[in-house]
Amino acid sequence: MNTVSVHALSTGHITIPERFFVTPADPVAKRTVPSLSFLIQHTDGETGKLTRLVFDLGMRRDLNLYPTALRDHLASRGPISTHPDVVASLAAGGLGVDDIDYVVFSHVHYDHVGFPRDFSNPKTKFIVGHGVLDLLSGKTQHDLGKHMVFEPDLLPSDRTTELPPPNAEHHDRFSWERLASFPQAIDLFKDGTVYIVNAPGHLPGHINLLCKTSNQPAKFVCLAGDACHDVRLLTGERDIATWTDETGRHCCMHVDIPSSKETLARLHAASKHGIQLEGEDSPAQVEIVLAHDWAWEREAKQKGKFWPGRL
């Protein structure tokens, strides 16, 4: 049975007050966290064709390339690092942007979208979750904080696919189906190596990537994006934070807290008990990797899991 290789990419850091992501929190504590991206390499079992996918692009290398409204917000997120960015991190292992077939976004907050225009090769396709295009165009609005700024021209329309609604029934290439304890997943290569998993709550179109990295024992890595910003939310030791900003606005990292909690409960269950796939004797292990997990980043650096190293 086929597997994929998964490689962490260093794509910048931001600093967030702890009270914005967990409650109870230390009122003055701040965390400088990575905004991780990943390279996934898939070889077709029959044709031997190699496909390279990047999940998220992290921070934009030049903050001046962000819209003005976001630059104001970023003034409150320092220290920030943007070097290396995704282009430099890919180059560290000998790859260029032209080697990438797909860019898949967990969601389209500024700290995950990088600078898509770097990926200008006509062969490179973008994949986003359902609802993302309405968010980018401004048709859908959530006034939950200064970070909720989106760019209508972020993605090239002729090379971007928005996934169908997760409750939609039949679709040719991208059909949502149950996968063990995940109610909605898309088998991207139709060989059980990479699943796009619906992970609602953080932002419309928020998706995770479940990648099979080993057969014996069966093991998946779940790239969980911003399902949460702190492992203590996964384990239930803390709750999701909300706050009121200086203008009196109600703020939260997540647009839909109940959905976020369901997503977190599913991820936590998968990490504890694994997922039982059809035809397998025992559950496959699942390692959850959050985009902003600073402790995971530190250990992954020590263990050489950053490209050209692998998870």
Closest to Zn ion by CB, 18 or 226: 226
Residues within window 74-113 making contact with Zn ion, judged by CB under 5 A: 111
Taking alpha carbons only, the member of 8, 30, 10 closest to residue 19 is 30
**Cα end-to-end span (Å), the chain:** 18
Closest to Zn ion by CB, 55 or 176: 55
- Span of 44-52, 193-201, 219-227, 265-273 interacting with Zn ion by CB under 5 A: 219-227
Residue 88 contacts by C-beta under 8 Å, 6 or more apart in sequence? 61
CB 225 to Zn ion: min, Å: 7
Task: Check: CB of residue 161 under 8 Å from CB of residue 126.
Answer: yes
Q: Is 226 in the site for Zn ion (CB under 5 A)?
A: yes
DSSP of 253-268, one letter per residue? S-S-HHHHHHHHHHHH
Where in 2-147 does DSSP place strands (E)? 4-9, 13-17, 22-23, 30-34, 37-43, 50-55, 102-104, 125-128
Residues 237-256: x where in contact with Zn ion by CB under 5 A, - otherwise, as a string = --------------------
Closest to Zn ion by CB, 85 or 111: 111
Alpha carbons 156 and 182: distance in angstroms, whole number: 30
CB 99 to Zn ion: min, Å: 25
If you ran DSSP here, which 8-state letter would residue 116 be given?
A: G
Closest to Zn ion by CB, 3 or 35: 35
CB 67 to Zn ion: min, Å: 17
Alpha carbons 5 and 161: distance in angstroms, whole number: 24
Closest to Zn ion by CB, 111 or 162: 111
Task: Check: CB of residue 307 under 8 Å from CB of residue 90.
Answer: yes
Closest to Zn ion by CB, 229 or 305: 229
Closest to Zn ion by CB, 111 or 118: 111
CB 148 to Zn ion: min, Å: 12
| Residue carrying structure tokens 């304890």 | 181
Token readout for 252 is: 């939260």
CB 194 to Zn ion: min, Å: 21
Q: How many residues line the site for Zn ion (CB under 5 A)?
A: 2
Residues within window 105-164 making contact with Zn ion, judged by CB under 5 A: 111
Alpha carbons 170 and 133: distance in angstroms, whole number: 21
CB 279 to Zn ion: min, Å: 36
CB 256 to Zn ion: min, Å: 16
Rg (CA), the chain: 18
Q: Which residues form the interface with Zn ion (CB under 5 A)?
A: 111, 226
